[in-house]
Amino acid sequence: MKAKIYALLTVLMLAFTFSAPPAHAASKKHPKKIEVSEEEAARQISEMKNRVEEIKAMDKSKLTKVERKALKKELREMNKRARALGSGGVYLSVGAIIIIILVLILIL
């Protein structure tokens, strides 16, 4: 009887330990790149910059809590959208930087 209980507890622990939601949450962490033309992306980014400047110029002390929350949400959405429209940049790992430094030392 104890063996069956231990087996069931083990199965339950493994079921909760190896679940899919953490993997799903990690996939939402990085926004997917949106495919648009460069002119369209530049236009959208300039519109976002203009809106951010409008929000910065606003007197936020007179806003209600709901309005401030809506502004924060709008800014977060624009930030996600801008990151998705952007090129993403160039990333170098620590190993690559070390190799570059070593090559530069050998050359000089």
Question: Smallest Cα–Cα separation from 81: which of 25, 41, 108?
Answer: 41
Tell whether pTM > 0.75.
no
Q: Is 46 a domain residue?
A: yes
- For 50, the domain range is 32-107
Per-residue pLDDT of the chain (108 residues; tens, 9 = 90+): 888 888 887 877 766 666 555 555 555 555 565 667 778 888 888 999 999 999 899 888 888 999 999 999 999 999 888 887 776 666 778 888 888 898 888 888
3-state secondary structure 41-68: HHHHHHHHHHHHHHHHHCCHHHCCHHHH
Q: Is 10 a domain residue?
A: no
Q: Is 62 a domain residue?
A: yes
Q: Is 21 a domain residue?
A: no
Contact 71, 63 (CB under 8 A): yes
| Structural domain count of the chain | 1
Q: Is 88 a domain residue?
A: yes
86-95 as b/e: b if 16+ CB within 10 A: eeeeeeeeee
Helices (H) and strands (E) in the chain, counts: 5, 0
Q: Is 7 a domain residue?
A: no
49-62 as b/e: b if 16+ CB within 10 A: eeeeeeeeeeeeee
